[in-house]
Structure 1
Amino acid sequence: MLIRTERQLSEVADEVSAITAVIRPILTGLLYSLKHDVVEEAGGYAGLKLSMLARLQRPGDGDCGICFEYAVHDALNREDPAVIERVADALVRCKVPGQEVASILFGAEKTGSQQLIDTAANRLTWESSLLSGTQGRPVKLKRHINAVAAALRKRTARAQLPQSIAGLWKADLFLGSTDADRWVGTTVKINRDALEGAKGLRIGVVPSRQGLSDAIRLDESRNLMVCPMPYDGSFMEVFYQGWEVVRQFIAADALLPKEVNLPRPAQREVARYLADRRGYPVLDVIDALTPLSQPHLLETTESQAGLVIVRGDRDEVGTTSVLAPQPRTV
């Protein structure tokens, strides 16, 4: 399996570039939210064309939430200043040591459709420790990662997890630092009211909400450090603009939507990028949009690693290796 590692070289410069950057993880989230058997009939994930994504994808209540998880993870990979600064503050509040903030996407099957556990082979080591917030020696994450994936799918497997991380199967991301190799379970919710605490979870990432403080704070009732993502002129505003572009593009059958559907010039320009590429595989389109996010924004390196996919069969559980973000050097 070819693993691509991306390192950010500079910050996103303009509105079109920013929206283009955020629609990449949105498309990824929608692609891997499709049912495995449906995708196989259409040629598999690698060959599924963008036009077919518009035909096969059916709007659901959880779509935006799945894409939000991917977008937060991708923003950390790109070292988006607004996101990485807030996550770094939350990690400090959770007493996680280290300077090189990173994210591991734990995207396993949650609603009957397939997602990948997108991480890199060299991210987790046998010394990677999960800080659960309880007294005692930290759990070695790599040792238990398969059990966590199994617990996500089977209730009977949850009893096999250590008590200190009994609810870790609810994690969407593992946030931490590569230099200290310390991580915390993180739940990501697009609906702030749906935030739930559990043993093994330390951070809750949510959008900021008008009228409420966007300060990072400890929610004692959930035992979570709540980390709101900034809105005005920042990450959440760009995310929702990108989400609107993709939704309108899919509703238009992978053609350029009418101007009344996307009246903002920047959004229409990004939708045009997609419409021009409707005949190409989704994963190729995502790659093609990388330089359009901003010239020289990302530097990509490649390596080989094994991959295991969580299938649609309820009794088949697996994990992949783990893919690491590379921080921007200054």
Structure 2
Amino acid sequence: MSKKISLEIQENEVGESVRARFSMVASILRAMLYSTKKTRVKKLGGATKITLEDLAIIYQEGDGDFGVCFEYAIHDAIRERHKSIYPLIEEVLFDFCKIKGTAESILFGLEKNGSLNIVQTAKNSLTDESRILVGKVGKPPYLRDRISDLQRAFRDKQHRSALPQSIRGLWQADLFLGSPATEQWVGTTLKLTKEELQHAPGLRVGVYPSNKKEGPSKNISKNMIICPLPYRSDFMILFQASFQIARQIMASKGRMPKPPAIVYEDDIVVAEWITARRTFAVMDILEALVPLMQPGLTKTETSQESITDDDTEAFAPMPLID
């Protein structure tokens, strides 16, 4: 099956809180759909057929699901130029990694049970000249041709030792951050605490929420650029609120959660809109959310490059993964 790749490019900043929640909940629902066991999804006809009610029934929160949703939210926030996230990413890339040009994100978390195949999408987001910066002297390795190798290394420990030493830990990347203009990228890991950050060859940037007032810095012991996100920032507050909305909807089997599960007016508005469409496919709900987001937030550019993938359920109509 052949599909076109669309790139979402930020034009205006996210505005009022209800629309901001719609955008964030869309990222979280998409992550929940793709982190659900593939066997359960296939039994119901594939991801394009899964209704919100279906998802609420088959979804089982695992230990890492909060982190998976966080990965999607960070990726989308970078793509949307969120005011709490984007300047920090620009600072990391410009000042520490010496990557110039417009900062962009490619989602590469090889989540986590095989239901999301983003390898081909990542390949098509890169060119033959794209390089991965590893923070060492020497010519940076080419990245595009290594994507499939990284996927195999994620699945099989034996393949990890076959990777070049400079990128031996790159299969752990959640995002590639960089600039299409300069064709330079850095492997990025996202964690929920600073203590979870662990250096691995090829991983250059570590992102995590922090309740301290601190900016990006180079951590010599980890050989990484660390990028703390202000825990009390509007982004983290929005993410926490939106995750709670989605989680309560899952717990209520797709129906409107009862008080006191959701009590704040903005959260109620979003939950009511989503649960009223519980019999519709999740992907159709995500697509229907687009007009409710702030007008002019993004513009969509469709590439001329097609992708072909047997696991077509990996690609949601909106929001897109790159």
Question: What TM-score does the superposition give when structure 2 sets the normalisation length?
Answer: 0.91
* 1:235 alignment counterpart: 235
Tell me the equivalent position of 1:298.
Answer: 298
Structure-1 residue corresponding to 2:79: 77
Report the equivalent of 1:272: 272
Q: Which moved more, 1:5-14 or 1:99-108?
A: 5-14
2:139 corresponds in structure 1 to: 137
Distance in 2 separating the partners of 1:302 and 1:97: 25
Cα distance change, pair 30–324 in 1 and its aligned pair in 2 (3 A):
closer
Amino acid paired to 1:256 = M
DSSP 3-state at the match of 2:228: strand
The alignment's C-alpha RMSD in Å is: 2.1
Query: Partner letter of residue 42 of structure 1?
Result: L
1:5 deviates by: 2.3
5+ long unaligned stretches in structure 2:
315-319
Partner Cα separation in structure 1 for residue 65 and residue 278 of structure 2: 21
| Shift, 1:310, TM fit | 7.6
1:15–1:266: 8 Å Cα contact kept in structure 2? yes
- The one-letter code of the counterpart of 2:47 is Y
Residue in 2 aligned with 1:328?
A: none
Which residue is 2:69 aligned to?
Answer: 67
Alpha-carbon contact 2:123-2:144 (below 8 Å) kept: no
SS in 1 for 2:198: coil
Aligned to 1:116: 117
1:55 counterpart residue number: 57
Q: How does 1:6-85 map to 2 (within 5 A)?
A: 6-85=8-87
Q: What CA distance in whole angstroms lies between the structure 2 residues aligned with 1:233 and 1:190?
A: 15
Match of 1:308 in 2: 309
After superposition, give the CA deviation of every residue in 1:158-216 in whole Å (9 maximum; x if it has no partner): 1221111111011000000111110000001123322111010010111122xx33311
Alpha-carbon displacement from aligned partner over 1:125-182 (angstroms, at most 9, x marks no partner): 0100100001111000012111111111111111221111111011000000111110
Alignment partner of 2:192 out of 183, 190, 196: 190
Identify if the C-alpha distance between structure 1 residues 324 and 177 changes in structure 2 by more than 3 Å, giving closer, same or farther: farther
SS in 2 for 1:247: helix
Question: Could you tell me whether the CA contact under 8 Å between 1:32 and 1:116 is conserved in 2?
Answer: no
Q: What letter is aligned with 1:253?
A: K
- 1:233 Cα shift? 4.3
Whether 1:163 aligns to 2:165 is yes
1:81 partner SS:
coil
Matched residue, 2:155: 153
**CA-CA distance at 1:79 after TM superposition:** 1.6
Paired residue secondary structure (1:82): coil
* Post-superposition offset of 1:232: 2.7
Residue 252 in structure 1 maps to residue 248 in structure 2: no
Aligned residue for 1:97?
A: 99
Who is 1:218 aligned against? 218
| Structure 1 residue 9: Cα displacement | 2.6
Counterpart position of 1:315: none
Partner of 1:199: 201
Deviations 1:253-285 (A, max 9, x none): 111111211111101111112111111111111
What is the identity, as a one-letter code, of the residue corresponding to 1:306? I
* C-alpha displacement of 1:113: 4.2
How many percent identity over aligned positions?
A: 38
Task: Give the deviation of 1:117 after TM superposition.
Answer: 1.4
CA apart distance, 1:7: 2.3
Q: 2: CA distance between counterparts of 1:66 and 1:192?
A: 17
The CA distance in 1 between the partners of 2:106 and 2:10, in whole Å, is: 17
Superposed CA deviations along residues 56-106 of structure 1, whole A, max 9, x for unmatched, are: 101111111001111111111112122111011111243332221000111
Q: Tell me, what secondary structure is at the counterpart of 1:246?
A: helix
The one-letter code of the counterpart of 1:237 is I
In 1: Cα distance, 2:218 partner to 2:309 partner = 36
Letter in structure 2 aligned against 1:33: S
- 2:317 matched residue in structure 1: none
Other structure's SS at 1:179 match: coil
